């Protein structure tokens, strides 16, 4: 069952099967209950009719039981002796007694005699009073009866009747259950015949519908396989016209491919730029070493050292970017931004222009993060300001909403408004005032923004009050 279509068809078939079986059982139970109620009603009517005749003093042998073939009747006295059975009743079960032969009773002949009919007018006042039929709900039971050699299932109703002589009899009358059994069997047979056919139809329809619904998924899979084989990230998977989950999956897949293509292009550009940037100091350093080997007196030792330092800084920048791209998490140490800035500025003794530090007095400027990475951000911003400042570089630390703002300003030419986002891209160096005049590779600002983002902050550039650029680093306060 590795196929989604097969699992869907099987699942739908099982659900429908369970639902149909439950519904079928409910229908059978309701049908049987209704038919049983009808049989109860028929049995009660027959029992009360016979009990009514006994209550008015009708002799046992003269009871009108014309319907005895369909409604067998049995009556027992208070001692459980059978005193009355309907004609042709050969056997019975489910009543108070299994006997079908009336036994003599003291009241069996007390009802009337032929001579009594001749003296009706003279003896009315001496005859017994009228009996009664119990108004309580009858007691129902299931049983069998054999009438004229035919045995069948019956539903019996038991009704009590009191004769005019005061004898209490229990009258049992049955209603046949053949119609109920036939109806239930017919419905059960129809269900057993139709259920497999319906399940086959459900499975087939589910298979076809699922196959049609998953056809776009197969197209997406084939296209993704082709993209993987060709490594052509410019290709896109087909998007169906529907607005369902599959269409959203195709759109998301294409968006993922777009992001992946852009990432790969950035990676390729990064590798190309890194190779180019590394080639220059390595070639320069090699040239100087070759000249020194041939002519030791011509060795430019300061230049070689400068190229080595430049190569070391570039390699460190590339390694840091690689760690950031790999998702390296910043540390969770609590730092004081003012102290961090003062410490970083105090170590810059060889700067071309002195740096002025402005920290708001009495403020608590704590942030969470990596001391080394945040110090690297401040150092990169100061290096950028030193390259382009004319006479002043200022660093200020102040509270800003729910965070801390570190701002580095210079009085240089500033950054054109249209280039204020582009300068944060890797290996980007602006011409003229912001060209690489002292060996900058165009990675400092890109590193600074990446570090700020991974610390939950931002890094933007604005126009400074001194006329140059103002780089604003915002970091959130600890929760």
pLDDT per position as a tens digit, 81-90: 898 888 888 8
Q: Would you call 93 exposed, middle or buried from its count of C-beta atoms within 10 A (0-12, 13-18, 19+)? A: middle
Q: CA 143, CA 148: separation in Å to the nearest integer? A: 17
Q: Please give the mean pLDDT across all residues of the chain.
A: 84
Predicted pLDDT at 110: 43
Predicted pLDDT at 133: 86
* Letter string b/e over residues 119-129, b meaning 16 or more CB atoms within 10 A of that residue's CB: eeeeeeeeeee
The band of 471, judged by pLDDT with boundaries at 50, 70 and 90, is: very high
Q: Are 260 and 233 in contact (CB under 8 A)?
A: yes
Q: CA 462, CA 451: separation in Å to the nearest integer? A: 19
- In 3-state terms, what secondary structure has residue 271? helix
Q: Other CB atoms closer than 10 Å to residue 70's CB: what's the count?
A: 15
Predicted pLDDT at 431: 53
Tens-digit pLDDT profile for residues 38-71: 999 999 999 999 899 988 888 887 888 767 668 8
Q: Is the pLDDT of residue 242 over 50?
A: yes
Decide which of 253 and 108 is more confident.
253
Q: CA 448, CA 473: separation in Å to the nearest integer? A: 9
Decide which of 327 and 83 is more confident.
83
Helix (H) or strand (E) holding 470: strand 469-476
Please tell me the pTM assigned to this model: 0.50
Share of the chain above pLDDT 90, in %: 30
Predicted pLDDT at 128: 52
Q: Is the pLDDT of residue 437 over 50?
A: no
Predicted pLDDT at 141: 92
Predicted pLDDT at 105: 55
Q: Are 131 and 160 in contact (CB under 8 A)?
A: no
Q: What is the DSSP string of 434-465?
A: GS-SSS--S-HHHHHHHHHHHTT-EEEEEE-T
Average pLDDT score over residue span 160-183: 90
Tens-digit pLDDT profile for residues 374-383: 998 999 999 9
The band of 264, judged by pLDDT with boundaries at 50, 70 and 90, is: confident
Predicted pLDDT at 67: 72
Tokens of 86: 């309907």
Q: By mean pLDDT, which of 126-135, 364-373, 378-387, 401-410 is the weakest?
A: 126-135
Tens-digit pLDDT profile for residues 265-310: 877 877 777 777 777 778 888 888 888 888 887 777 787 787 788 7
Q: By mean pLDDT, which of 185-199, 271-285, 396-410, 427-441 is the weakest?
A: 427-441
Predicted pLDDT at 41: 93
- In 3-state terms, what secondary structure has residue 384? helix
Predicted pLDDT at 357: 92
Q: Is the pLDDT of residue 156 over 90?
A: yes
Tokens of 345: 């500025």
Predicted pLDDT at 378: 93
The band of 398, judged by pLDDT with boundaries at 50, 70 and 90, is: very high
């Amino acid at each position: 069952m590795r196929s989604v279509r097969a699992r869907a068809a099987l699942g739908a078939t099982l659900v429908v099967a369970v639902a149909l079986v439950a519904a079928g059982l409910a229908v059978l139970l309701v049908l049987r209950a209704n038919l049983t109620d009808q049989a109860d009603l028929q049995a009660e009517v027959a029992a009360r009719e016979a009990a009514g005749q006994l209550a008015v003093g009708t002799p046992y042998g003269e009871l009108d039981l014309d319907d005895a073939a369909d409604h067998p009747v049995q009556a027992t006295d208070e001692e459980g002796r059978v005193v009355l059975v309907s004609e042709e009743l050969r056997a019975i079960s489910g009543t108070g007694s299994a006997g079908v032969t009336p036994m003599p009773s003291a009241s069996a002949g007390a009802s009337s005699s032929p001579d009594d009919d001749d003296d009706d007018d003279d003896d009315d006042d001496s005859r017994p009073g009228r009996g009664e039929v119990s108004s309580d709900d009858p007691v129902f039971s299931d049983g069998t009866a054999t009438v004229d050699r035919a045995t069948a299932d019956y539903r019996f109703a038991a009704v009590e009747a009191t004769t005019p002589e005061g004898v209490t009899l229990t009258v049992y009358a049955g209603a046949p259950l053949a119609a109920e059994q036939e109806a239930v069997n017919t419905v059960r047979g129809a269900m057993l015949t139709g259920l497999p056919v319906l399940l086959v139809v459900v499975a087939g329809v589910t298979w076809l519908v699922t196959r049609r619904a998953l056809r776009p998924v197969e197209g997406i899979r084939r296209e993704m396989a082709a993209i993987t084989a060709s490594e052509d990230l410019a290709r896109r998977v087909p998007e169906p016209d529907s607005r369902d989950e599959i269409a959203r999956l195709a759109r998301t897949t294409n968006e993922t491919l777009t992001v992946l293509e852009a990432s790969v292009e950035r990676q390729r550009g990064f590798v190309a730029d890194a190779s180019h940037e590394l080639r220059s100091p390595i070639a320069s350093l090699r040239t100087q070493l070759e000249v020194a080997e041939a002519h030791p007196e011509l060795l430019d030792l300061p230049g070689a050292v400068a190229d080595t330092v430049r190569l070391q800084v570039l390699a460190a920048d590339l390694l840091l970017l690689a760690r950031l791209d790999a998702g390296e998490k910043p540390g969770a140490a609590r730092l004081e931004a003012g102290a961090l800035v003062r410490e970083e500025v105090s170590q810059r003794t060889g700067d071309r222009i002195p740096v002025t530090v402005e920290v708001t007095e009495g403020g608590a400027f704590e942030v969470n993060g990596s001391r080394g990475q945040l110090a690297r951000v401040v150092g990169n911003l100061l290096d950028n300001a030193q390259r382009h400042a004319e006479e002043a570089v200022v660093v200020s630390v102040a509270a800003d909403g729910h965070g801390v703002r570190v701002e580095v300003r210079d009085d240089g030419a500033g950054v054109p408004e249209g280039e204020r986002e582009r300068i944060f891209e890797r290996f980007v160096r602006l011409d003229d005032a912001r060209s690489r005049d002292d060996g900058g590779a165009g990675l400092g600002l890109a590193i600074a923004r990446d570090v700020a983002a991974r610390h939950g902050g931002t890094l933007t550039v604005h126009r400074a009050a001194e006329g140059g650029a103002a780089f604003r680093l915002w970091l959130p306060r600890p929760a």
